Amino acid sequence: MSVRIVDVREITKPISSPIRNAYIDFTKMTTSLVAVVTDAVRDGKRVVGYGFNSNGRYGQGGLIRERFAPRLLEADPKTLLNSGGDNIDPDKAWAALMSNEKPGGHGERSVAVGTIDMAIWDAVAKIAGKPLFRLLAERHNRKADPRVFVYAAGGYYYPGKDLSALRGEMRGYLDRGYNVVKMKIGGASIAEDQERIEAVLKEIGNQAQLAVDANGRFDLETGIAYAKMLREYPLFWYEEVGDPLDFQLQAALAEFYPGPMATGENLFSHQDARNLIRYGGMRPDRDWLQFDCALSYGLCEYLRTLDVLKTHGWSPSRCIPHGGHQMSLNIAAGLGLGGNESYPDLFQPYGGFPDGVRVENGHITMPDLPGIGFEGKSDLYREMKALAE
Ligand SMILES: O=C([O-])CC(=O)C(=O)O
Ligand SMILES: [Mg+2]
């Protein structure tokens, strides 16, 4: 059976909403949806892999169409195959995508490559006739665990949102089975944020834990002032305090904040992740790493990041990726990550779970769907299919 990539399609879609974190609003946010069309046939149907670029960075149509899709389509198809010749080798496809690219400067292209990489892994697992998480577990000699921890991210600022609306939002997450919720800080004064935090803590009581996310807004002085305020509460984590590349700031914070911290969603390569681990003072016994493969060159690169972590004594279970997409759910279930983010009310239809999957005690159970499992989420698959047809 022939296995060739015959087309790579991209469309840029809105995922806008009126929400705001400490840095940006999402009124003009977009995402790239990609279809990697193959000539492989499974169950009488042509195999198409799909991907999208998470959230927080904008659509990548220009780069994908001008630079990356042509490289994949111009490569000799034989050079993209695995040793058995019966499937695509994602690392070979990745190498083709990255031919003639200089090192460094990762953000310029890591999102475009991560989006295509997601679609390639989806196709590869579909051609293998397996859920991606099972394929990953097999390849890495692990036992897959379909039960994955998920937490509810929200708590954004938006016009007219008062404390009772914030409490109501968090109550809604508890009602849907979550036991960790997250809210934004740094988009208001410290006094106002403290009031918001106390309101949420009062609402969730001992039913759940709260994480807070500053989205890289603070300088060292502000980060420390917040640390002193926040350390009085039993928070799940204090996230992305300062600029994502300011490792000295991150390291300095540990002196003022003994509780768990989290960061990494804006580090886009294994080299940047390694610098965080080398210089950021992150503590493997309590801190969390949020690298999002869709934004950072995809799963091929994420596997290198996991190798870096291992070398430095970090377990994959300290990773809870940013982004709330099914790709990271598969990596979590297949490779033993600590869980995944989820945005119950945002970024639809891209984020979330296959239809019928429920959150129970803060966990979901992955259904056995081929590939990443997008076909099981009808609103998302509708958009994907429209691109491939
Ligand atoms: O507001 C955002 O950009 C998303 C974010 O930081 C997160 O999910 O942790
Ligand atoms: Mg964040």
Q: Residue 282 pLDDT more than 70?
A: yes
Q: What is the pLDDT of residues 37-54, one digit of tens each?
A: 999 999 999 999 999 999
139-387 shares the fold of 5-129: no
pLDDT band for 377, please (50, 70, 90 cuts).
very high
pLDDT digits (tens, 9 = 90+) for 134-169: 999 999 999 999 999 999 999 999 999 999 999 999
Ligand sitting nearest the alpha carbon of 346: 1
Tell me, what's the pLDDT at 2? 82
Amino acid 125: pLDDT: 98
The yes-or-no answer on residue 106 being catalytic is no
Residues surrounding ion ligand 2 at CB below 5 Å? 213
**Nearby residues of 57 by Cβ (< 8 Å), 6 or more positions away:** 107, 111, 295
CA of 241, nearest ligand number: 2
Q: 340 CA distance to ligand 1 centroid (A)? A: 13
60-86 confidence digits (pLDDT tens): 999 999 999 999 999 999 999 999 999
pLDDT reported for residue 389: 82
Architecture of domain 139-387: Alpha-Beta Barrel (3.20)
Kindly report the protein residue whose alpha carbon is nearest to atom 1 of ligand 1: 21
Does 377 belong to an annotated binding site?
Answer: no
pLDDT at 154: 98
Tell me what ipTM this predicted complex has: 0.99
Task: Quote the percentage of the chain above a pLDDT of 70.
Answer: 100
The alpha carbon of 192 and the centre of ligand 1 are apart by a number of angstroms equal to 20
How far does residue 148's CA lie from ligand 2's centre (Å)?
19
The response to whether residue 265 sits with its C-beta less than 6 Å from ligand 1 reads yes
For domain 5-129, the CATH superfamily is Enolase-like, N-terminal domain (3.30.390.10)
CA–CA separation, 20 and 242 (whole Å): 17
pLDDT of res. 1: 65
Determine whether the annotation assigns residue 102 to a binding site: yes
| Alpha carbon of 323 to ligand 1 centroid (Å) | 7
User: Which one of 106, 184, 270, 377 is the catalytic residue?
Assistant: 184
Which is it for the CA torsion 35, 38, 39, 42, positive or negative?
Answer: negative
pLDDT of residue 193: 98
Active site residue 322: yes
Confidence of residue 206 (pLDDT cuts 50, 70, 90): very high
Domain assignments of the chain as residue spans, ordered by start: 5-129, 139-387
Q: pTM of this prediction?
A: 0.98
Mean pLDDT of the chain, nearest integer: 97
Closest atom of ligand 1 relative to the 323 alpha carbon: 8
Q: Residue 97 pLDDT more than 80?
A: yes
28 is in an annotated binding site: no
